[in-house]
Amino acid sequence: MLEKLFGLRAHGTTLKTELIAGFTTFLTMAYIIFVNPDILSQAGMDFGAVFVATCLAAAIGCFIMGFYANLPIALAPGMGLNAFFTYSVVLGMGHTWQVALGCVFLSGVAFLLISIFKIREWLINAIPHTLKKAIAAGIGAFLALIALKNAGVIVANPATFVALGDIVSYGPAMMILCFFLIIGFERHRLPGGVMLAILLVSLLGLLTGHSEFHGVVSAPPSVMPTLMQLDILGAFDAAMISVIFAFFFVDLFDTTGTIIGVTEKAGLSKEGKIPNLKQALLADSGATLIGAGLGTSNTTSYIESTSGVAAGGRTGLTAVVVGVLFILCIFFSPLAGMVPAYATAGAIFYVAILMMYTLADIHWDDLSEAAPVAVTFLMMPLTFSIAEGITLGFITFTIAKLVTGRWRELNIAVWVLTIVLLARLVLI
């Protein structure tokens, strides 16, 4: 049956190899079951319900990717988008988490439509390479600010806006310890290094009396507090255009880049063509729609899937194994509830640094390229909003090309998006 479903022999792999690959991928991305509920619960959502929604959305996404697209790519609620959901849309803009879920759903619909009607390649190619890199790096800076703020490493200051906190106090010190543990574990290629660091720091919190033991295994929490609570009608508001736009574009770029990277590493792409690309994008967009219904932010493909590919994973069976493991995690909700904010902050800061690598690809000697990158990168954390960073980055890109006499480099898509975003900035 497995041979018929996944073509193991045709892909030069075995059941044992796929099982090991799936377990390896899971270990590298399982930190999301601790981090996502912690972030979304700050928006007022029920922690237990988000924990279950996270595991279910990840599992369903992996199953669709595995059985439908037959690719070794795992999915789960994405980092960056969950932070944007909580800190920008809900806490920053004052919208309810139900409306925010409605925006996630609509961004998934948009993703689904461009996948069905095959306009994804045109759209991806139309967005300047510079802005794609800037958005990824800007999200990294945004996550870094959130991690440092949540752990108390940086604090509010009436004179300077921000200042260094008491980094020798317990919370900040443990965040720093978690961060350096992750660096050490990852340097020595320890499988599941991020999750292990989170668990070790959480255990230290228990031993020192800074957190309480609530058990390890229990019946799953109810998902009813978030199930089908999305407010789609509330998301149909002019003020939400930039929010839906941000959810959609970040998910699109992240997913596309991940699919390309994983399939190339696995040797599955031939002459630049990715097998089952449409099915993979449909799996991603479908998982976002289902995740919004369950009660979580955008579900997206994880670049951590490359760890499973490095372990030999070549088919969708790898993704299916990851999905099964996420299902099993539902029974470990007490463990997730014991993970303190400073432990997840260390992991978030580590992920933030990984996302900033794209800055190395920027032509800094060309101001028409460097200026929009700098604006996007700086304004995301300083405005505490991915959407505002993208908006200002697009506008800066267009104006910079105009004043430097390089307006011919602006395509129709960039002109349209700049006008729409500028109108939204001025009129709304």
- Rounded CA-CA distance 273/415 in Å is 29
Is residue 419 within 8 Å of residue 410, measured between CB atoms? Answer: no
What would the two tokens of residue 74 be? 């795992």
What would the two tokens of residue 369 be? 């390229």
Using alpha carbons, select from 85, 81, 73 the residue that is nearest to residue 302.
73
**pLDDT tens per residue across span 177-192:** 999 999 999 899 887 7
Using alpha carbons, select from 225, 223, 190, 211 the residue that is nearest to residue 335.
211
Q: Estimate the crossing angle of helix 241-266 against helix 386-403, to 10 degrees.
A: 90
Identify the residue whose tokens are 């992240």.
254
**What does the chain come to in residues?**
428
Q: What is the DSSP letter of 221?
A: P
**pLDDT tens per residue across span 250-306:** 888 788 878 877 888 788 877 667 788 889 999 999 999 999 999 999 999 998 898
The reply to whether 24 falls in a domain is yes
Task: Determine which helix (DSSP H) or strand (DSSP E) holds 234, and give its type and residue range.
Answer: helix 232-235
State the pLDDT at residue 150.
Answer: 87
Q: What is the DSSP string of 351-412?
A: HHHHHGGGGGGS-TT-HHHHHHHHHHHHHHHHTT-HHHHHHHHHHHHHHHHHHTT-GGG--H
Q: Which domain holds residue 188?
A: 12-354+364-427
The identity of residue 187, as a single letter, is: R
Give the angle subtended at the CA of 77 by the CAs of 70 and 283, to the nearest 5°: 30
- Determine what percent of the chain falls in helix, strand and coil, rounding each to the nearest 5: 70, 5, 25
The reply to whether 7 falls in a domain is no
- Rounded CA-CA distance 63/306 in Å is 18
Using alpha carbons, select from 244, 266, 361 the residue that is nearest to residue 314.
266
- Provide the domain count of the chain: 1
Mean pLDDT of the chain: 90
Q: Span 71-77, mean pLDDT?
A: 95
Calculate the CA 93 to chain-centre distance: 20
130 against 18, higher pLDDT: 18
The reply to whether 359 falls in a domain is no
Q: Where does the pLDDT of residue 395 fall: very low under 50, low under 70, confident under 90, or very high at 90 and above?
A: very high
Identify the residue whose tokens are 């390890």.
216
pLDDT of 199 above 60: yes
CA torsion, ordered 284, 335, 185, 343, to nearest 10 deg: 90
Give the rounded percent of residues in the chain with a pLDDT score beyond 90: 54
377 against 256, higher pLDDT: 377
**pLDDT tens per residue across span 301-338:** 998 898 889 888 999 999 999 999 999 999 988 888 88
State the pLDDT at residue 271.
Answer: 64
**pLDDT tens per residue across span 150-173:** 899 999 999 999 999 999 999 999
What would the two tokens of residue 320 be? 């299916």
Q: Span 92-115, mean pLDDT?
A: 94
122 against 228, higher pLDDT: 228
Backbone angles phi, psi at 191, to 5 degrees: -60, 130
- Rounded CA-CA distance 363/405 in Å is 17
Contacting residues for 59 by C-beta, under 8 A, at least 6 apart: 323, 324, 326, 327
- Rounded CA-CA distance 318/327 in Å is 15
Identify the residue whose tokens are 């990824």.
136
Contacting residues for 243 by C-beta, under 8 A, at least 6 apart: 88, 89, 93, 95, 100, 103, 235, 387
The reply to whether 6 falls in a domain is no
**pLDDT tens per residue across span 344-355:** 899 889 988 988
What would the two tokens of residue 198 be? 């989170």
Q: Are strands 154-157 and 161-164 parallel, antiparallel or unpaired?
A: antiparallel
Give the rounded percent of residues in the chain with a pLDDT score beyond 70: 98
The reply to whether 61 falls in a domain is yes
Can you say whether the dihedral through the CA atoms of 8, 9, 12, 13 is positive or negative? Answer: positive
The reply to whether 4 falls in a domain is no
- Rounded CA-CA distance 55/196 in Å is 18
Lowest mean pLDDT among 84-88, 302-306, 372-376: 302-306
The reply to whether 2 falls in a domain is no
The reply to whether 335 falls in a domain is yes
pLDDT of 33 above 80: yes
Identify the residue whose tokens are 């994804």.
120
State the pLDDT at residue 307.
Answer: 84
Identify the residue whose tokens are 């073509």.
7
Q: Where does the pLDDT of residue 201 fall: very low under 50, low under 70, confident under 90, or very high at 90 and above?
A: very high
Q: Where does the pLDDT of residue 428 fall: very low under 50, low under 70, confident under 90, or very high at 90 and above?
A: low
